[in-house]
Amino acid sequence: MPSGSPKSSENLSLMGTRSPVRSPEDEDVASSMGRCCQTCAFVSITLVGAALLMRAARFQDSQVSAAPVQRQFLPAPELERVQGVIDVRPLQPRQQHGQVQVVDDVDDSHSWHWQGSSRYAPSTASVCYYDYEGFAADCFCKLANNKVCRSKSCACSQGCSSSLTWRHKSSTTFKNIKYATGCQKEDSTALLTVPESFFADIRHLKTWCPQGAQKLLAEMFRASFQTFREVVGEGPARQCMHAAQLVSVPWLHLHTLCADGHIDGLPGSPTMGWCGTMHSSHDAEPLAASAMLWAERLYGVRSQSLPSSCSEMGCGIAGIGGRCSCKSDCQVHTNCCDDFSSICRP
């Protein structure tokens, strides 16, 4: 490229140009601007830091304040009790009263949560008595010492001697030919207690002895528990009875066995039967009250007088002592209640 060209002259001119010299005033202005920028940056950093600290403090305070509220909603500790076991205590505490438990596996389809009853049978209540009417229970009739069977021969495979039975005021206890299961270290011997009076089942008792039923049950609980202590062993005892439709022998009978034992499907659901645990003879009355509540919720509330119609007693129950019946075979025996056809027939 020729040395005298315009572009070459421009480059030489730029290379020879000097940087302008700043005056003292310009230096002061630049210094002031630098300090201002530093101050602004410091203030900004300080504000951001303060904001972060305040936010952290608020978060910590919220955590501390929320902690007690959170504890209030923690689940309550589980109670150590057998499933379906409901404590039943009398209205007035009694001296030396044991812990009464009712083993009743609640059916989820019903609202059958209850706490037992303080309705004790009055001391003046009379215990009913009915003669045996031949309901395929000859063995139990003889063992119960019902007056109809006293002169009859024994119909029990294990015999009927006095060495096999324990007589009480209105009931009798004897050993069950079956043994309980689940007793672990306890004796598996099981007892049966029957009333001297004939009652086919718990519904029969509730219906045909409404005023004396609870008193009779209390005596049976007390006598069977004392016999269990004498014959089988010390410690609590489980008391059970079947629902009316599940009795194996049509004579009301109470099962007494070890506290953790099982027998004939008991304990089970409320529709199958009732069970309670006795720790003391004083438990007899509250357990009897609880058993009657169970019977009432299955078969209706007890009346104050004996029923005389199917609308009063319900269907499927036989008469007793010459009274009319609402059971299906009443037409064969010609003893149906007057309203049987309208109430109990489809």
Please identify which residue in the block is written with the tokens 């410091």: 42
Interval 135-168: pLDDT, tens: 789 999 999 999 999 999 999 998 998 888 999 9
- Which positions ≥6 away from 209 have C-beta within 8 Å? 127, 128, 197, 199, 216
Interval 273-322: pLDDT, tens: 999 999 999 999 999 999 999 999 999 988 888 999 999 999 999 999 99
In this predicted structure, what is the pLDDT of residue 238? 98
Mean pLDDT of 120-124: 60
C-alpha 219/C-alpha 227 separation (Å) is 12
Q: Looking at per-residue confidence, does 264 or 31 come out higher?
A: 264
| Lowest mean per-residue pLDDT among 52-61, 175-184, 207-216 | 52-61
Q: Where are the beta strands (DSSP E) in 71-188?
A: 85-87, 101-103, 165-167, 171-179
In this predicted structure, what is the pLDDT of residue 122? 61
C-alpha 99/C-alpha 217 separation (Å) is 18
pLDDT bracket for residue 40 (50, 70, 90):
confident
Q: What domains can you pick out in the chain, each with its CATH number?
A: 85-306 (3.30.428), 307-346 (4.10.410)
Average pLDDT, the chain: 79
Q: Is the model's pTM score more than 0.85?
A: no
C-alpha 327/C-alpha 114 separation (Å) is 31
